[in-house]
Amino acid sequence: MYLVTGGAGFIGSNIARQALSTGEKVRILDNFSTGHWANLSDIRNDIEVIEGDLRSYHIVRNAMEDVEVVFHQGALPSVPRSISDPITTNEVNVQGTLNILHAALDAGCRRVLFASSSSIYGDAPEQVKNEDLHVKPLSPYAVSKLAGEKYMQVFHHIYGLETVALRYFNVFGPYQDPDSPYSAVIPLFIRAFNERRRPVINGNGEQSRDFTYIANVVHANLLAAHAPDAPGRMLNIACGDSITVNRLASEIARLTDREDIIPLHGPDRPGDVKHSRADISLAKKLLGYEPVVTFEEGLENTVSFMLENLK
């Protein structure tokens, strides 16, 4: 049995969907604060759903019964949200992760995989980020993810629980929510261009990201569930590429046939980093990970999916 926390969310629902396709039994735990039943519409009859909060140890412990592997995706996402409400971010992302680890240990789970974040690198001057860099989180969200990683390591080294932290870099793809006030840049841009509005770019748009299509993240998680040398490690999961926000906007304008619409530029966003690109050599070595979908292919898939679902 696989347990996916945050399984009604963007990444969690995609992991659940792929795990089902490999023949695994899947249970999800979600309080539906940011996840949606609609994300599960095609698999609802094939999974077990527990509606509950990560902050409740009793609920988390019950969800762990007969579970072999936990894909811990549940969290309060977003840097801006964490800046406006650091206390709740800490309660969900740190206390919730501690609940997951303790309950997994108590229930005899074999392995816990943790959705960490490239945000923990902060504004480290090295443009290509590897796992040995000194981390420099710039927001409460990033701090909460770093704390989760440290708890993962402690539970591995002290208690022997198999734990793996996967540092995601700017994940995008189908089922990403364009309606959230904290929505990521790609669904916001797609919606804006589709509605013939000028999307807003924070700063000059030359900040760069390693935009990573969701299929690559799902692939990495399923590899990490069994990789023998992964426990106790933190691994970058990305494409190892660098795309500026200006280029991203241009590509989306082309794919939505809105090349006549020119984006607006606003102020830099507090807590943002300028450049983020992953060194994925360790994930290649320990997981056998290789990106399975390129940025260009993934963006085309995402635009097609969103335009179909925005009608």
Compute the distance between CA of residue 137 and CA of residue 180 in angstroms, rounded to an integer. 24
Q: So what's the pLDDT on residue 182? A: 54
Q: d(Cα 287, Cα 250) in Å, to the nearest integer?
A: 34
| Catalytic site positions | 141
- Collapsing DSSP states into helix, strand and coil, what is residue 278? strand
DSSP line for 205-261:
S--EE--EEHHHHHHHHHHHTT-TT-TTEEEEES-S--EEHHHHHHHHHHHTT-TTP
The token duo for 169 is 């870099």
Residues of the chain with pLDDT under 70: 180-183, 271-272, 311
Task: Output the pTM of the full model.
Answer: 0.93
CATH class of 2-172+212-240+280-292: alpha beta
pLDDT score for 183 = 63
CA triplet 9, 231, 294: central angle to 5 degrees?
Answer: 50
The interaxial angle of helices 185-194 and 295-309, nearest 10 deg, is: 50
3-state secondary structure of 200: strand
Helix, strand or coil, per DSSP, at residue 25 = coil
pLDDT at 180: 67
- 278 by Cβ neighbours in 10 Å (0-12 / 13-18 / 19+) ranks as buried
pLDDT at 311: 63
